[in-house]
Amino acid sequence: MDGGAIVALRLTRQESTLESLLQVWDGVWTLPHIRSWLTAGWVLYLLGLGGWIVLQKREPVASLSWLLSLAALPYLGFFIYYVLGPQRLVRQRARRRRRGATLPPDTQATTGETQELRTLAHATSGLAPSTLHAVQLLVDGEQKYPALLDAIAQARHHIHLSYYIFEPDQTGCSLRDALIERARAGVVVRLLVDSVGSKRAGRDFFTPLLQAGGEVAWFHPARLWLPWRRPWVNLRTHRKLVILDGRVGFIGGINITDEEDLRLRADAYRDLHLRIDGDAVRSLQDVFIDDWAYVTGNRAFLAELACAMPKPAPGPIRAQLLASGPDSPWESIHRLHVGAIHAAIHRVWLCTPYFVPGEAAMMALTSAALGGLDVRLLVPRMSDSRLVTWCVRSYFDDLLAAGVKVYEYGPRMLHSKALLVDDHLCIVGSANFDHRSFRLNFEASLLVDDAGIAGTLADQLATEFRTAVPVRQDRPRPLWRVRLPEALARLLAPLL
């Protein structure tokens, strides 16, 4: 059979298949009262799904966005919302028992605004204000990874790590091998990784660590084969935490990947991290323990760990860990960002890779600028998602009109997450300035009230502003290539 005959035969088969499908389709519509049944089913679908969405009591815009989007997807929309829709978790957390504890005495002078923020953080996160002896700002993976490996080599009792992305590349192998060495030396190693962010690593990658005596747990693995249990696909742990012997901690935005090391890639992400030493490390430990117990169900180690935890003397640096997630309605990190901006007197400098603010956050920023404060926003020139880039840029006009100075960083991807308020207050962590970080992800950021640390961060951000491109109000904005894509992306802001 020649080529032409084969093609003709395939076309004949395709036409036959299409004709069969059309006959089935026509046959469906001949069934008695089929239109009435389908209409009734669609109405019941809308009522059921609509009631489910409305009972979540989310922002009206977000609820309406879901309703309108899923109304056009009969039955399939139910599955989409079941897997990806907003979800609340109910889990027991040890720190809830401490929420009613009184604030520790503050021996250092504080302003009324600072004390109010510390009280707000304590009430919304359940983590008491604390202090630190030392804070080191680490810029990019080339500073963080050597510091982390050095601290791991000095660990003697336990090493706790929680990461969203843990790649099986050169950086990931170096860290895994360092953990293996410590585990063989008798140090307890517990590693918690997100099952979506770290899916490339796979369980085989961590087998040598398990064989050395380490423990590895996966946060919210998908269970689509268990339809009676929600898969939590949309609820991820975005935290990047390391606790070593309860004395030294790491927190920030840098994952474990070659993409964040300028020594390995010329296009490595620009990012920030903190190395901390002092009492606030106990709060990092509390958050890790809550997550570990939630994922594994294992609490047997808590008594032994409590005995091993040091009790350092208060340090000179005021600090407060902020932890938030869908297991709490208070949105601690969101509230502290907005509260800190409202408390500003001189300046507000915000650096974030994803800027998709809610009404409260947008109002806080524009009000600060309209009030004459030095308000600056630094975002990437092009993020890792074109849709997000369009959505972020859709806010520029309102910000610029209010007097906010907007800068775009490039050509490297900006991944830093930091807020600087006046000359003493800063927040650095894993949370982006968007709906997902404030409401869906499990995040952790550190609020530091110290002029020295704030000054170091100010110098770093000032360097970024000098190398970034200011966004001008008179920039070219053609309709089809700029304004329309931005407007359409803005409609999806509550879902991003």
Kindly state whether residues 261 and 346 are assigned to the same domain.
no
> What CATH number does the domain containing 450 carry?
3.30.870.10
In a domain, 297, yes or no: yes
In a domain, 322, yes or no: no
Catalytic residue among 122, 158, 417, 424: 417
Kindly state whether residues 268 and 350 are assigned to the same domain.
no
User: Over the chain, what is the mean pLDDT?
Assistant: 86
Per residue in 69-100, pLDDT (tens digit) is 677 777 666 666 666 666 666 665 544 434 33
In a domain, 437, yes or no: yes
What DSSP letter does each residue of 185-243 carry, written as one string? TT-EEEEEEETTTTTTTHHHHTHHHHHTT-EEEEES---TT-TTS---TT--B---EEE
Lowest mean pLDDT among 225-239, 354-368, 427-441: 225-239
Kindly state whether residues 248 and 286 are assigned to the same domain.
yes
Kindly state whether residues 160 and 309 are assigned to the same domain.
yes
Task: Clarify whether 422 is annotated catalytic.
Answer: yes
Write down the H helix ranges in 126-164: 141-153
Per residue in 443-454, pLDDT (tens digit) is 999 999 999 999
- Whether 101 shows a pLDDT value over 50: the answer reads no
Structural domain count, the chain: 3
Domain final residue pick, 69, 86, 103? 86
pTM of the complete model: 0.84
Task: Clarify whether 415 is annotated catalytic.
Answer: yes
Residue 275 is predicted with a pLDDT of 98
Catalytic residue among 140, 194, 245, 434: 245
Kindly state whether residues 301 and 173 are assigned to the same domain.
yes
Catalytic residue among 238, 273, 337, 424: 238
Catalytic residue among 122, 158, 220, 240: 240
Kindly state whether residues 140 and 271 are assigned to the same domain.
yes
Task: Clarify whether 417 is annotated catalytic.
Answer: yes
Lowest mean pLDDT among 252-266, 398-412, 478-492: 478-492
Task: Clarify whether 238 is annotated catalytic.
Answer: yes
In a domain, 410, yes or no: yes
For 78, the token pair is 């139910």
In a domain, 115, yes or no: no
In a domain, 323, yes or no: no
d(C-alpha 303, C-alpha 291), whole Å: 17
Task: Clarify whether 245 is annotated catalytic.
Answer: yes
Strand pairing partners for 447?
Answer: 320, 427
Catalytic residue among 415, 424, 434, 435: 415
Tokens 């474990």, residue located: 256
What is the extent of the structural domain holding 194? 134-277+280-313
Name the amino acid, one letter, at 158.
H
Kindly state whether residues 147 and 254 are assigned to the same domain.
yes
Any idea what DSSP says for residue 327?
Answer: T
Kindly state whether residues 200 and 292 are assigned to the same domain.
yes
Kindly state whether residues 375 and 416 are assigned to the same domain.
yes
In a domain, 127, yes or no: no
Catalytic residue among 422, 434, 449, 450: 422
Phi/psi for 369 (5° steps) reads: -70, -45
Kindly state whether residues 487 and 407 are assigned to the same domain.
yes
Cβ neighbourhood burial of 280 (10 Å; 0-12, 13-18, 19+)? buried
With pLDDT > 90 as the criterion, what percentage of the chain qualifies? Answer: 60
Per residue in 115-170, pLDDT (tens digit) is 889 999 999 999 999 999 999 999 999 999 999 999 999 999 999 999 999 999 99
Cβ neighbourhood burial of 359 (10 Å; 0-12, 13-18, 19+)? exposed
Kindly state whether residues 195 and 302 are assigned to the same domain.
yes
- Whether 109 shows a pLDDT value over 60: the answer reads no
In a domain, 120, yes or no: no
Kindly state whether residues 291 and 364 are assigned to the same domain.
no
